[in-house]
Structure 1
Amino acid sequence: MSDLTALKQRLIDEVEAHKDELIELCGSLIKIPSENPPGDSTEISQFITDYLGHYGLDADWHESSEKMFNLLSSIGSDQGKELIYCGHTDVVPAGDLSKWDFDPFSGEVKDGWMLGRGASDMKAGLAGLIFVFALLKRLDVELPGKLTLAIVPDEETGGEFGVPWLLEKGLIKGDGALIAEPSSRLNPTIGQKGSYWFELEVFGEPGHGSLSPLAGNNAITDAIAAIEKIRTLWDLTIEIPEEVQGLIDVSKRYMREVEKEREKFQPVLEKVTVNIGTIQGGTKSNVIPESCKVQVDCRLPFGITRDEVSAYLKKNLDELGIRYEIRPFGFRSHANYTSAEDPVCQAIVDNISFVTGEEAYGVMQWASSDARHFRDYQIPVLQYGPAYLPTIHGYNERVQVEDIIRCAKVYIAAVVDFLFEK
């Protein structure tokens, strides 16, 4: 056994020995409501700062928007590589409390499950990062590089005041990053589809409803025709670049063999998906509507850009002879990935196998996350965190306690592989 393997095993054993502390920390984070909106991270940021301070660790506060605080803390040496461990404190609103089987802010453990809003997305992963970071300090592990903990307040509404704000300000830099976002047990996400959200507004001419369709011009019926054109984006045949075909293939394998209920969704990896999310138009049933607004969420595979989608939409909507405007909003990104051979991906994937004794490999996600921002700044990144995926953003959110512990073991072992290896 090499010295580094022995060190990793020692650290894994320390996580196991202190696992009750880890679970207590996770429960404490869940007990603090940090719903976004409204996005006030004051209370949870203070709790985390106090926790780190108990072990002699400082946390710098950076307020990116009112009551939204980014926390940064580092250990190790400036001489070697730098690894960023990143997590967000905000959670989606709990919603109708009567639809929960338990208090969403109880942070309770029952029958091996950690319960509550954010248990899977992503306070269990966040707790693992914070716990491991402090444990390395407690054990006086001398790191040949730097480990930076970046805790952000604003991911669930698009992340404008979290990771992208820190990167733009030059407050975080690194040779690799891990985001403890929810993933499956053996399969971190190393790539993601692009996003293109837009609002279509179609314009008509008002008139008395009793004269339609001979009078006026109905914005809603024109919008219906436009929606049919927009939905043909799904029919496009996209030529997937050869360099990412392997990632697509292994992700299809994952959907066949791991999340078997998702096998039917394999085509989304190579298609432009189109969701007509909202539609609003007209004023009364007896008035010909002069405006109709439709909000659309498209996710883009490798092989097509937002500009190409925009050109396709313009060509097809212009052919309808309608009056319209398209206004992009919200998530905007191209498909992006980090090579499976990158050291940060290898450090996580290899240590998933080291901890579990099972084959692990990285896959695509069909949604978007903060990972895209790191890649915009040429920082290799992947996502791996404890989760019970069916409950994310839903009622009765939960995660298995054993998953929280397993991920923390991977996190601490990966620090050794990434920072100690040349």
Structure 2
Amino acid sequence: MNINKLKDELFQYVDDHSEDLIELCSRLIQFPSENPPGDTTDITNFIEDYLTESGLNIERYESNDKMFNLVATTGEKSMEYNNLIFCGHSDVVPAGDKSKWSFDPFSGEVKDGWLLGRGASDMKAGLGGLIFATALLSRKNIELPGCLTLAIVPDEETGGEFGVPWILEKDLIAGDGCLIAEPSSPQNPTIGQKGSYWFKLTTYGTPGHGSLSPLAGGNAIVDLIAAVQEIRKLWDIDITIPNEIRPLLKESKRYMQEVEKEREEFYPVLEHITVNIGKIEGGTKSNVIPEKCTVEIDCRLPFGITQDEVTEKISELLAPLNIDYEIERFGFKSNANYTPADDPVCKSITDNIEVVSGKEAYGVMQWASSDARHFRDYNIPVLQYGPAHLSTIHGYDERVRTEQIITCCKVYLGAAIDYLYTTK
């Protein structure tokens, strides 16, 4: 098998049928699969029909009400050659106030070289590229020595448990490496993520007449304000970054200096615990001393500190306050995690980015979190690479360049061929 010739033929097919690829991505956007509420019924039906027409073996799993996972395979599971997982999520964050959009967020319109709509960057363009690539390998009857598994999950945007962690726990997918088509820079796949520590802090007071405060009762809101001030000190903790992570941090700083230049000022977030005070609820009315107040806080953890250690730090910070409180974890939960840049699945992506684009490619670290952590929990090396206009993700007027969608689809195909034709 002439691998390079095969890749060239597949790349040419993508160029010749690029309108079909863009149309597929456009159709995906037209399904408003907002999460919450998380209903992926219609988009799942569409994808399943598309993949079935391409001759793929497909299994459908409902992990929660109206949340559907699809698993499609082509090739044969191999003990000698690598087996690869393509992964993408079909849910998107809510569009929000549609009057603030310049276009219908669910139009999937293509205009002036842009694909427009909610999910264009996160991540229906990337998902469309994975679907198109997997279907193409099946339609062309490419005899893959390893197995390619396409996993499409319904529950990523809320940090939920009904997508990737659900199918991994039930042993519904397996592979030696994984590519997630999450948004990234064109030349810089994401090979590491910070950890996540989301929690609700609730303080309790003693209700009473507001006219007697602060001499009467215990004010839950006042106590919570004091607690928040202490928790914000997590940023100031001096954390020792492990030596094996320093090359990744160096490359990530280079990326912020040379590519996303406007992000260079944020480089310190890679080495500190970030603390976002996201939501506060408390009190009954202005003339009642509040008996309860709750704040939701999102912390992201660098390498060098664990979730358990953060829990201990929070307890130490709050102890001197002598307040009545409780903490409840929710949402994203993980320690910082990464895949080495020289792992074969990472190399297959960066090498093919360079082949397709003719430019240098290297992996970087993400200051947020993703489904990648779940694969690493199962010792599956993983990275993220997908088309995106990064500044529009989760915002109004989300969009992505159509040429970037085409480039990424070629990279997916080239990486799949290289990886699946590689012996373990």
- Aligned counterparts of 1:14 and 1:377: Cα–Cα separation in 2: 35
Question: What does residue 252 of structure 1 align with?
Answer: 253
Query: Are 1:374 and 2:375 an aligned pair?
Result: yes
- Aligned counterparts of 2:210 and 2:52: Cα–Cα separation in 1: 68
- Aligned counterparts of 2:35 and 2:47: Cα–Cα separation in 1: 18
Structure 1: gaps (5+ residues):
none
Secondary structure (helix, strand or coil) at the match of 1:142 reads coil
Tell me the C-alpha RMSD between the 2 structures. 1.1
Question: What does residue 100 of structure 1 align with?
Answer: 101
Question: What does residue 313 of structure 1 align with?
Answer: 314
Comparing 204-213 with 110-119, greater Cα deviation is found at 204-213
Question: What does residue 73 of structure 2 align with?
Answer: 74
Q: Is the 8 A contact 1:195 1:331 kept in 2?
A: yes
Q: Is the 8 A contact 2:82 2:422 kept in 1?
A: no
Query: Are 1:266 and 2:257 an aligned pair?
Result: no
Comparing 366-375 with 214-223, greater Cα deviation is found at 214-223
Comparing 407-416 with 275-284, greater Cα deviation is found at 275-284
Equivalences for residues 206-245 of structure 1 within 5 A? 206-245=207-246
- Aligned counterparts of 1:342 and 1:81: Cα–Cα separation in 2: 12
Query: Are 1:88 and 2:89 an aligned pair?
Result: yes
Question: What does residue 33 of structure 1 align with?
Answer: 32
Query: Are 1:133 and 2:134 an aligned pair?
Result: yes
Q: Deviations over 1:204-237 (max 9, x none)?
A: 1222211211111211111111111100000011
Secondary structure (helix, strand or coil) at the match of 1:402 reads helix
Q: Is the 8 A contact 1:49 1:58 kept in 2?
A: no
Question: What does residue 6 of structure 1 align with?
Answer: 5
| Sequence identity percentage | 67
Q: Kindly state the Cα deviation for residue 3 of structure 1 after the two structures are TM-superposed.
A: 2.5
Q: Kindly state the Cα deviation for residue 254 of structure 1 after the two structures are TM-superposed.
A: 0.6
Q: Kindly state the Cα deviation for residue 14 of structure 1 after the two structures are TM-superposed.
A: 1.4
Q: Kindly state the Cα deviation for residue 159 of structure 1 after the two structures are TM-superposed.
A: 3.2
Secondary structure (helix, strand or coil) at the match of 1:172 reads coil
Q: Kindly state the Cα deviation for residue 15 of structure 1 after the two structures are TM-superposed.
A: 1.1
Secondary structure (helix, strand or coil) at the match of 2:182 reads coil
Count of aligned residue pairs for this structure pair: 421
Q: Kindly state the Cα deviation for residue 33 of structure 1 after the two structures are TM-superposed.
A: 1.6
Structure 2: gaps (5+ residues):
none
Q: Is the 8 A contact 1:159 1:370 kept in 2?
A: no
Counterpart residue type for residue 61 of structure 1 = R
Question: What does residue 298 of structure 2 align with?
Answer: 297
Q: Kindly state the Cα deviation for residue 113 of structure 1 after the two structures are TM-superposed.
A: 0.3
Q: Is the 8 A contact 1:229 1:317 kept in 2?
A: yes
Question: What does residue 359 of structure 1 align with?
Answer: 360
Q: Kindly state the Cα deviation for residue 61 of structure 1 after the two structures are TM-superposed.
A: 0.6
Q: Kindly state the Cα deviation for residue 394 of structure 1 after the two structures are TM-superposed.
A: 1.1
- Aligned counterparts of 1:78 and 1:299: Cα–Cα separation in 2: 37
Q: Deviations over 1:81-116 (max 9, x none)?
A: 210001111111111111111111111100000011
Equivalences for residues 390-405 of structure 1 within 5 A? 390-405=391-406
Secondary structure (helix, strand or coil) at the match of 1:185 reads coil
- Aligned counterparts of 2:88 and 2:205: Cα–Cα separation in 1: 46
- Aligned counterparts of 2:55 and 2:252: Cα–Cα separation in 1: 42
Secondary structure (helix, strand or coil) at the match of 2:321 reads coil
Secondary structure (helix, strand or coil) at the match of 2:340 reads coil
Scaled by the length of structure 2, what TM-score is found? 0.97
Counterpart residue type for residue 124 of structure 1 = A
Query: Are 1:49 and 2:48 an aligned pair?
Result: yes
